[in-house]
Amino acid sequence: MAVPIIAAAASPQLAWREPIYITAGFAGVTSMCLLLMQPLLAGRLLPGLTPVASRDWHRWCGLALVAAILIHVGGLWITSPPDVVDALLFVSPTPFSAWGVIAMWAAFGAAFLGLSRKRLGLRFRAWRLGHASLAIITIIGSVVHALVIEGTMEVMTKWVLCGLVVLASVATLAKLRIWDIRRPT
């Protein structure tokens, strides 16, 4: 996960950029790296972690992901408020903006469900299906957003990171079989 960050740090597109814009861009790269961790932790696919530790790290990683998204969007807001408003209103001429906004709101929704399952009184299966559905929307939106945008991420590492995010997600979905509502969890 450090490779895409290091490659982005060497990007010629960083020249003459404001520090807040650079910070916002790196928050986006960091978001993609955290997005790779989420399905690995949810599926308990990382060696050496107990199921409880994996769940706890998934929760903390999700909160870090939300923080990174807020830094990403907040930094872009500071550097160009009209562009962010256009993106949030889905009137931006850049196609990557809509994918990023959809992914952002889905991530916020997944985090909200993650933090408030008991308060909402949801059964585990319904909660998990909703949380996972929002996570899938987050992943698809984020991957398309990252692949379409021509930013500081280096092309090859961006494709590899996005591919790993998708592979980790598919592996976790296959392992957990969340769509099978007939079997007990």
Structural domains of the chain, count? 1
Write the pLDDT tens digit of every residue in 87-117: 999 999 998 999 999 999 999 999 999 999 8
pLDDT band for position 36 (cuts 50, 70, 90):
very high
**Which two tokens mark 143?**
């991957």
Is 182 contained in some domain?
A: no
140 burial (CB, 10 Å; 0-12 / 13-18 / 19+) is middle
Domain span including residue 8:
2-84+96-176
pLDDT band for position 184 (cuts 50, 70, 90):
low
What does the alpha-carbon distance between residue 94 and residue 82 come to, in Å, rounded to a whole number? 13
Q: CA 138: distance to chain centroid? A: 6
Write the pLDDT tens digit of every residue in 143-180: 999 999 988 888 999 999 999 999 999 999 888 877 66
Is 154 contained in some domain?
A: yes
Is 184 contained in some domain?
A: no
Is 89 contained in some domain?
A: no
Is 172 contained in some domain?
A: yes
Cβ–Cβ under 8 Å, residues 28 and 76: no
Mean pLDDT of 117-123: 85
55 burial (CB, 10 Å; 0-12 / 13-18 / 19+) is middle
Is 151 contained in some domain?
A: yes
DSSP secondary structure of 110-153: HHHHHHHHHHHT--HHHHHHHHHHHHHHHHHHHHHHHHH--SSS
The predicted pLDDT at position 182 comes to 60
